[in-house]
Chain A
Amino acid sequence: MAKKVEVSNGWTDKIYYVTRISLLFSVILVFFSEFNPARIFTQMNKNVSLLTAALSYNRLVINIKYEINHNYIFKSDIYSLMIASGLMVVGIIAMAAAACVSLGNLKMKRISNYITVAGAALGLGGVVKMFMTYNLYKSIDDEIAGTVGFNMAVDRVPLALYMMLGFAILQLLCAVMLIFLQPKPAKDMKCEMISSYKLFLMFLPFIILAFLFSYLPLYGWRYAFFDYKSGPGNLTLDSFVGFKWFQSLIDNPMTRNDIIRVLKNTLIMSGLGIGTSWFAMAFAIFLSEIKNGPFRRVVQVFTTIPNFISWVLVYAIAFAIFSNEGFINNLMSIITGTEQHRLFLMEDTGLHLKMLLWGVWKGIGWSAIVYIAGISGIDQQLYEAATVDGAGRFQKMWHVTLPGLLPTYSVMLLLAVAGILSNGMDQYLVFSNANTKDALEVLDLYVYTLGIGAGKIPLSTVIGMLKTLVSVVLLFMANGISKTVRGESII
């Protein structure tokens, strides 16, 4: 496709680098709760970002309900705080939009300058409004601090508010400078943008989404280095403690024992999974020996269905079949003629094996599909040649089909080894009860019960973090092995 050439407008284009880069920093102001310009009350929830402050009244007041109920802080001022936050957010969004538009030709650049001016004005308006609210409560504090006994407004203006101010002024200056210094576009110039930027802008929303939900969570690793306080729907970082929580993994005997037990469970389950991973391949090989098409299709449909139901439903099924009054107990009653009430799901023997069997029941039909595809990809001439050489059925399965599938199997195996610490928690969560908990708690489930259940956020973050790091290293190692042995990467 034909490419349009970007026309340079001399040194004025360089100014846009300043606005664009400063815009990236403004993201911090919008999303990161530590840099929230709107945090002007001492008691305010420290986990609220500027964006949340602009959107959600409930979250904004979650920790200052007391002050509001006693009319120390007026509701109207909370609303003006929200409006100020909203102005800043809208301003930043406008400036971001302007930065996108500025990727176009001179005409579009001119338009973007005016949008930037408008956005910066909105942002400045928000800053001024916020300053006013802050000063109001600062002066109230000075008057009645003695009688109330605490300060409502924070001691100093939040640093982020100054950052916001500086940022808005910078953008404003740049835009005004551009308006005066940029060459004027020809009258008949149309809005145009070169395709490479156009495509990038189309893709930008998805980059932002990926950033928000895959990269930004890494910022949550900071919980591993802090003490914290928690309230309803609310977490607050307290003080930096360095590697205290890492240390406690080793020093605290209870945690240490838990970790050892959990790691043992994890490795046993993964080991069993890896050790039986060839089942799927065998399943595919033997299934392909069935020549009756309809029968094979029925088998395939029935055996793959369990893969598409959730573990909760698997547990519902386990409940129906194995519970106190489930199918097996009914059947036993009929056979033996006496009432049978064996609590299969409460028994704590052979749990790892049982979990493996559930896993096989759920997953084998589906895992086999990739091998079934692999078998249909094996060259038919190989089979014919083997037949001519006098090979029987089993010899062909062993010497032709199996070697044909081994490359696929080795990839699956390497991926399984790389994921040795990740068993997923759904299965173990649903099958957990008072008797089975100890043997079923794998690493993922432990992180869940520790973090969400017991509220030990830093410790569970530490464990999750270490798990992620080890998994990534394992994946790269598996990839390296694959590259050297097979000459192909698996990721």
Chain B
Amino acid sequence: MDNTMQEGLDLKLKKPYHHKRKVKLTAKDVVFNIINYLIFGLFALICFFPFYYLFINTVSSTESVARGIVNFYPVDFTLQHYKDMFAIGDLGQAFFITISRAVIGTALMVAASAFCGYLMTKNEMWNKKFWYRFLIITMYFNAGLIPGYTNMLMLGLTDNYLGYIIPAIVQPFNIILVKTYVESIPAELEESAFMDGAGYWTIFTRIIWPLSKPILATIAIFGAVGHWNSFMDSMINMQNSPNLQTLQHKLYIWLNQSSNLGAVIGSSHSSSDLENIVDQLNSGKIIKYTIAMVTVLPILVVYPWMQKYFEKGIMLGAVKG
């Protein structure tokens, strides 16, 4: 698989793939094409529409959303919900936590992966094979959720901001990606620098780092998306620190309040109360949509531009198999 995949990668980078077809389209082909286009078009729509639906609801007035008429386009355009959302105190904190961990965590992870990936190409390292395996084998076992938690407890990383950063620095998979990439850099470059008296660190910063930028961009995006999306570590390790909760965790909490509000309505009998609660529920619903929209927005905006990096990453990973 390795070779075909590598060639496939090269081919793909040069030009998108097309069959060379000399045969004229038959009626059967036309029908097939129409169905094929329709199915893929429909599926793309199913993938895209929910985001659009979230968006139009967040920019429509509460009243029109409550009447259920915001389905395909915004009604009574307003940005009030976004203002309301930022008035909720602890969301700003969650934003700060999530953005800062994405930036710091990703930067450290990329630097570490780059350096380790470079070191792992150095066969003269003491017991290199052993240490490489020591690192890589961690991808294939996992002590489990609770031992992981008790370990964090033992190391004092629960309810601690560093608990987001430090455990995510060493990522074996990313190290493999960088190692594979660095191996493709001509060895002569390094050797001539070495002859000129450059040490490992100089070679790394002056030659390897600049030349590996494509793969580093790839793992940076993987890392940043991972940090942005993570909520389990916030739920498990930061149980007693609401001010350390990530945005996704906050969103999860908000989404779950719906069922509580629903329960309140079910048990309430007084009609004036009910109206009041329905009002709250409606604006609460839009606030939920708004938080979700803000949470998903960075990914929606960044993603189309980054897709080629993602693809390159997964293909290099597949090459390693």
> DSSP majority for the B interface?
helix
B 119-168 contacts with A by CB, 8 A: 119, 122, 124-128, 131, 134-135, 138, 140-151, 153-156, 158-159, 166-167
Q: Are B146 and A214 in contact (CB under 8 A)?
A: no
Q: Are B142 and A468 in contact (CB under 8 A)?
A: yes
Q: Are B44 and A207 in contact (CB under 8 A)?
A: no
Choice from A206, A308, A374 contacting B5 with Cβ under 8 Å: A374
Q: Are A313 and B8 in contact (CB under 8 A)?
A: no
Q: Are A464 and B146 in contact (CB under 8 A)?
A: yes
Residues of A within 8 A of B292 (CB): 313, 316-317, 320
Q: Are B43 and A304 in contact (CB under 8 A)?
A: no
| Smallest beta-carbon distance A194→chain B, Å | 9
Q: Are B150 and A223 in contact (CB under 8 A)?
A: yes
B 1-40 contacts with A by CB, 8 A: 1, 4-5, 7-9, 11-12, 16-23, 29, 32-33, 36-37, 39-40
Closest residue on chain A to residue B7 by CB atoms: A377
| Smallest beta-carbon distance A290→chain B, Å | 6
Residues of B within 8 A of A433 (CB): 259
- In the complex, A221 Cα to B143 Cα: how many Å? 8
> B77: CB under 8 A from chain A?
no
Q: Are B41 and A383 in contact (CB under 8 A)?
A: no
Choice from A49, A293, A320 contacting B155 with Cβ under 8 Å: A49
Q: Are A220 and B143 in contact (CB under 8 A)?
A: yes
- In the complex, A321 Cα to B53 Cα: how many Å? 8
- In the complex, A323 Cα to B68 Cα: how many Å? 12
- In the complex, A304 Cα to B137 Cα: how many Å? 29
> B86: CB under 8 A from chain A?
no
> A114: CB under 8 A from chain B?
no
> B81: CB under 8 A from chain A?
no
Choice from B47, B172, B236 contacting A365 with Cβ under 8 Å: B47
Interface size on B, residues (CB 8 A): 115
Closest residue on chain B to residue A379 by CB atoms: B4
Residues of A within 8 A of B151 (CB): 212-213, 216-217, 219-220
> B82: CB under 8 A from chain A?
no
> B91: CB under 8 A from chain A?
no
Q: Are A286 and B36 in contact (CB under 8 A)?
A: yes
Residues of A within 8 A of B41 (CB): 295, 299
Choice from B66, B149, B170 contacting A451 with Cβ under 8 Å: B149
Residues of B within 8 A of A220 (CB): 143-144, 146-151, 154
> A56: CB under 8 A from chain B?
yes
| Smallest beta-carbon distance A464→chain B, Å | 3
**Contact A312 B11, CB 8 Å, known A210-B138, A327-B53:** no
**Contact A319 B258, CB 8 Å, known A216-B151, A233-B153, A303-B44:** yes
Q: Are B158 and A207 in contact (CB under 8 A)?
A: no
> B169: CB under 8 A from chain A?
yes
Q: Are B194 and A209 in contact (CB under 8 A)?
A: no
| Smallest beta-carbon distance B321→chain A, Å | 6
Q: Could you give, for residues 352-371 of chain A, a 1 whenever the CB lies within 8 Å of some chain B CB and a 0 otherwise?
A: 00000000010001100110
Residues of B within 8 A of A317 (CB): 50-51, 54, 292
Q: Are A299 and B17 in contact (CB under 8 A)?
A: no
Q: Are A374 and B8 in contact (CB under 8 A)?
A: yes
- In the complex, A309 Cα to B45 Cα: how many Å? 17
Residues of B within 8 A of A375 (CB): 8, 17
Residues of B within 8 A of A451 (CB): 145-146, 149
A 10-52 contacts with B by CB, 8 A: 31-33, 47, 49, 51-52
- Given contact pairs A47-B154, A305-B51, A468-B144, enumerate 9 new A-B contacts (beta carbons under 8 Å): A210-B172, A217-B151, A235-B153, A299-B43, A373-B9, A383-B19, A393-B32, A465-B143, A471-B141
A-B contact list, 24 entries, CB within 8 Å: A196-B124, A197-B126, A199-B124, A209-B112, A212-B151, A233-B158, A233-B159, A233-B240, A291-B19, A310-B230, A316-B54, A317-B292, A325-B66, A374-B8, A375-B17, A376-B8, A376-B11, A430-B252, A447-B146, A457-B146, A460-B146, A464-B144, A472-B140, A488-B321
Interface residues of A, Cβ cutoff 8 Å to B: 1, 3, 31-33, 47, 49, 51-52, 55-56, 59, 195-200, 202-203, 206-207, 209-210, 212-221, 223, 232-235, 286-293, 295, 298-306, 308-310, 312-313, 315-317, 319-321, 323-325, 327, 329-331, 333-334, 361, 365-366, 369-370, 373-378, 380, 383-384, 387, 393, 396, 404, 407-408, 411, 425-426, 430, 433, 444, 447-448, 451-452, 457, 460-461, 464-465, 467-468, 471-472, 475, 488, 490-491
